[in-house]
Chains A and B, each alone.
Chain A
């Protein structure tokens, strides 16, 4: 086994290092994502690419040879790419791993992602920056649902080129018909997607067939091998070179005379003297200078990171975007997007999240799920929430306008991530589906100047409150005769809940009418408090009114059914007439028969059972 670079390169390195370096420094960069399940032989294929292109060092080779379980000649190529301890123990790849190799023509970054259904998240991550998706199919099994899933995700993430490697051809006797049937089956599905370019390769990663060298085993195949394809597939068109987008990252102000906007040109190009428009201000100016560490340059293009100085003093800052007037992005607060849910915690439609889009972070809410993809059938289905690895089309509403393009047109300005502001986790990725409607500059500016698109409302959802406070808001309404001990029970209950680490309050009995008291109880309950009321509410009507305003599930009615005789003895002066005993109270406690602390435990238990308190 030779692990040296391919011969001409090696000679060049030895004989003329300067010529080699000149060649190397001008190489193109291609990023590809490799997907396949545990058994498709993906690790073996990548290990083979690394090994056969000379990217495996002798000492790595030695350690892999030592670690290979199989005795004898064959090397377990998959061991080159094996990473974390946990993964080695489980024998599967559990996260995206990045690997690097170069050939005479290009330099490659591989995002190596596992292909199980539960790891959609990983494939999406790896696919987000890829030019090419390399999908592995086991020749013996043909096109499985999983392969369709992979193709679907590749298309969703806007990968322009798909390379389908039909692997393990050695196990089907290099049968051309098997290969062609798989190509047909795959095409039938991929034709329904938006992938501009699909190619097929009959390979055996294990035997090294059609990976980096042609093979006589597949004489019927006259296409390129996998490496040739990767070296030659046309990727210069993959960049959006049309629309100039410059999302400002940082303002550089070393002194009063210099104010430069630092950013990466995420698409398009710019020249000195070009007129630019700054969003959201809508102000225009001309490019006075394009600066870099190595001096000013006349023009710059994607993906260069530069500093732009403008002829006029425009107050732009991070999150703003410089664009050209003739080619504006959409400006808006609300848009549709494809979304991949990446968190164990499901989507909460009540909650506002933070989205990071280009260089700005904005509060936003998912207002609607148009559909979610059933990943087994790839059918679109209605959904009420999104869980880990769900793929859906949703509507988003932002608290202020962002500047975006359709993801299919511009990956950089069409992509966003969703962040849970309580846990700070990245919970979803989004790809904006551009609106059909055309927007001119006036429309865009109008959109920017309009008030907030969302009705101002709480940004804390009931679920978040429950998580933070360990409780959901509830009102405990104590009903009973005068002298039944309602108030004593109310205050003792408040104390007990406080000691349990809960937040509870007794609505104070000052001279308020019942309507105001109910309003107070509602406000406290909305805030997530356990609200305790003990007002005399003699009539069924009053209690119905309360239930209606607070919602049945948030009211616990406790009938304090202390013996009437005792009550009358305690409160000889009180008015006992007209009391309508509750028909269906949630709880009945008679304080002449149970001790106060026991009664309290009953109530706490009822709260827990109802899910108002997190146990």
Chain B
């Protein structure tokens, strides 16, 4: 247990994240915060607001919209931006839209590559951002365990595992040449449990999809997929089934697997999470491609 003049681990993580966000905001010319609407982004956004309070955020938020996000995510996003007076940039890969790239015809890998990875690169190039905050955590996936807080990208947004800078103490090296950029991960050292606990004690609003509720689902490759709009392709005669489910991670609805759940509060989510013991990304179809696939995506510029 902690003594009086000692910060709890969560408050230490909070202080560290705020430090990182302030450093990056001070050292880069044009930072942006990548906002994915999920719980990690929500925590990161709260930390950023804490870092500059009572002032406004000194950078905009950016959402790379693949056009297949859950409707509730978009509603939530717009509401958050409005409520806190945030500048929100939405980027959609128009070439992808014109070519009608979608997860059904093109498969998860190609679709994600074009609408998410390429979309992100387009947006970063268009706005000339030299620093992009991301809400990734090191405990999410094995290949992320070695990710730096400041992850250096060349002018093609590529990540080279052999060419990352050593990171010591809390001294981050943000020097770059024009055209290069750095992805900054302020919540690198947080675990999924830390994030939920922080959501709980800080009363941070999250997208309702995280909470269990009766939702229309269909089965695809062993995953429960929610029928979020009329674009979901159903088999002839297939009827969506109403089932009490929730989502552990949020992304594009045709690629996000739901889990059966009764958890309708943050406490219950934490309880369920600790007791069921399934690692977080299992609900996310895109990682099933191949062992080490996250590492490959990261090299290509995916978060």
B9 on interface, CB distance cutoff 8 Å: yes
List of B residues within 8 angstroms of A109 by Cβ: 189
List of B residues within 8 angstroms of A4 by Cβ: 277
A84 CB to nearest chain B CB (Å): 6
A409 on interface, CB distance cutoff 8 Å: no
Contact B146 A84 (CB under 8 A): yes
B10 on interface, CB distance cutoff 8 Å: yes
A146 on interface, CB distance cutoff 8 Å: no
Instruction: Write out, one digit per residue, whether chain B residues 74-95 have a CB within 8 A of any chain A CB (1) or not (0).
Output: 0000000000000000000000
Interface residues on B, range: 35 or more
Instruction: Pick the interface stretch among B112-120, B163-171, B207-215.
Output: B163-171
Contact A3 B166 (CB under 8 A): no
Contact B161 A84 (CB under 8 A): yes
Cα distance A419–B14 in the bound complex, in angstroms: 28
Q: Which residue of B lies closest to A157 (CB)?
A: B168
Contact A254 B55 (CB under 8 A): yes
Instruction: Pick the contact of A412: B14, B169, B292 (CB < 8 A).
Output: B169
B234 on interface, CB distance cutoff 8 Å: no
Cα distance A122–B146 in the bound complex, in angstroms: 11
Instruction: Pick the contact of A426: B22, B51, B165, B274 (CB < 8 A).
Output: B165
Instruction: Pick the contact of A21: B53, B189, B270 (CB < 8 A).
Output: B270
A356 on interface, CB distance cutoff 8 Å: yes
Contact B171 A356 (CB under 8 A): yes
B100 on interface, CB distance cutoff 8 Å: no
A471 on interface, CB distance cutoff 8 Å: no
- Known contacts: A303-B7, A424-B176. The answer to whether A27 contacts B2 by CB under 8 A is yes
Cα distance A58–B280 in the bound complex, in angstroms: 11
Q: Which residue of A lies closest to B139 (CB)?
A: A100
Q: How many residues of A contact B (CB 8 A)?
A: 87
List of B residues within 8 angstroms of A305 by Cβ: 14-16, 18-19, 22, 50-51
Which residues does B use to contact A, with CB under 8 Å?
1-3, 5-16, 18-19, 22-23, 25-26, 49-56, 138-139, 142-143, 145-146, 161-162, 164-173, 175-177, 188-189, 191, 193-194, 197, 200-201, 267-268, 270-271, 274-275, 277-279, 282, 292, 295
Which residues does A use to contact B, with CB under 8 Å?
3-5, 10, 13-14, 17-18, 20-21, 24-29, 54, 57-60, 81-86, 88, 95-100, 102, 105-107, 109, 112, 121-122, 124-125, 128-129, 236, 239, 241, 249-250, 252-254, 258, 260, 262-264, 266, 269, 291-294, 301, 303-305, 307, 318, 342, 354, 356-357, 359, 411-412, 415-417, 419, 421, 424-426, 429
Jot down 25 A-B pairs with beta carbons below 8 A, ordered by A: A17-B268, A24-B193, A24-B197, A29-B8, A58-B277, A84-B292, A86-B162, A100-B139, A102-B191, A109-B189, A236-B6, A249-B23, A250-B22, A252-B55, A254-B54, A264-B18, A291-B54, A305-B19, A305-B22, A307-B53, A421-B175, A424-B173, A424-B175, A426-B168, A429-B166
User: Told that A5-B274, A13-B275 touch, could you supply 17 new A-B pairs with CB distance under 8 A?
Assistant: A10-B275, A13-B274, A27-B2, A28-B1, A57-B279, A84-B146, A85-B295, A95-B161, A100-B189, A250-B25, A264-B18, A269-B5, A305-B15, A305-B16, A342-B166, A356-B173, A415-B168
The 10 nearest A-B residue pairs measured at CB = A29-B9, A305-B18, A293-B50, A254-B55, A293-B53, A128-B168, A57-B279, A97-B145, A107-B9, A17-B271
